[in-house]
Amino acid sequence: MAEPTTPTFDVTGIGLNATDTVFRVPHFPAYGGKVPFADEHYSVGGQMASAIVTCAKLGLRSKYIGAVGDDYRGQLQIESLEESGVNIDDVRRRTNCPNQSAYIVIDEATGERTVFWNHADCLTLQPDEVTPDQIIGTRLLHVDCHDTAAVEKAARIASANDIPVTADVDTLYAGFDRVLPFIDYLVASSEFPARLTGIEDPFKALTAIQERHGMKVAAMTLGAHGSLALIEGRFVYSPAFVVNCVDTTGAGDVFHGAFCYALLQNMPIADALGFSNAMAALNCTKMGARGGIATLAEANALLVRGERRSRTDVAARSSLT
């Protein structure tokens, strides 16, 4: 009998990357108004690329699959991935195609951001660009469901080879219903469960999603209020951390990267949510989508000493361990 093959990668991510232009303003103007901006700079980001960079910085063997334009913004993205130690062998570089870009306005008074973005059609990842050899040999597949046909193929390959699949989804994508049966760990935005199910109550919506699609964990991020997960018939709520927030850009992406790390470390779900909340909070203390990706030691220190911001209405309805 042949010996089992040791996985080449701990985590492989397939999905979006972006290169942002970031502006800081003292406060966001009213409609039709204007304010001076303090500075502007390029900042690499994108929900999947940033999650995979987080994994790499936490010490995981990480690979990114996606499409990158051949302009200056695309080159910045490639350089960032390489410098972070992410494998980019399966990145598609599109000729005469602009990389996904965004203009992000940071309100210095709150750290909240407003985003204007553009994604060219030439960046679409096609199903025939996803092959089994790209997926087999990883311990975990992370998807963001934007290019749903390509993501569905990747998730099917992973499921057929007993590779767990995690998903970051923030809105309803056409064809996403075909991806859901292959997801083991769904961590959605706070708005997604209601959009998918038509049920406003988040507890009932997560329950409906899990019962309908059978994933092991159905969870949602709650922004400044933390995160909530349904596992084995019980809800686990993890409050967010109180930090000096400079920029919320990329916080959710870092959360997902940290969650992938936590799963591969076999953390109990409550610990996984807490660790992911800590990593997301620390990223908010610096400018840029990846400006504050913390070390493992920094995240653990916040877990021990950090102040938590709990929503009593969520906590009261959750079964905390």
Q: Any idea where the domains of the chain sit in the sequence? A: 9-15+47-96+126-316
Average pLDDT for the chain: 93
CATH architecture of 9-15+47-96+126-316: 3-Layer(aba) Sandwich (3.40)
Task: Write the pLDDT tens digit of every residue in 114-138.
Answer: 889 999 999 999 999 999 999 999 9
d(CA 142, CA 86) in angstroms, rounded, equals 14
Q: Has residue 3 got a pLDDT over 70?
A: no
Task: Write the pLDDT tens digit of every residue in 29-60.
Answer: 888 999 999 888 899 999 999 999 999 999 99
d(CA 85, CA 48) in angstroms, rounded, equals 15
Higher pLDDT, 194 or 306: 194
Task: Write the pLDDT tens digit of every residue in 257-279.
Answer: 999 999 999 999 999 999 999 99
Higher pLDDT, 217 or 107: 217
Q: Please give the pLDDT value at position 172.
A: 85
Amino acid at 292: G
Within 10 A of 59 (CB to CB), how many other CB atoms are there? 12
Pick from 148, 149, 138, 141: which is nearest to 165 by CA?
141
Q: Please give the pLDDT value at position 104.
A: 87
Identify the band that residue 97 occupies on the pLDDT scale cut at 50, 70 and 90.
Answer: very high
Listing DSSP states for 230-259 in one string gives EETTEEEEEPEEP---S--TTHHHHHHHHH
Q: Please give the pLDDT value at position 5.
A: 65
Nearby residues of 307 by Cβ (< 8 Å), 6 or more positions away:
241, 242
Identify the band that residue 1 occupies on the pLDDT scale cut at 50, 70 and 90.
Answer: very low
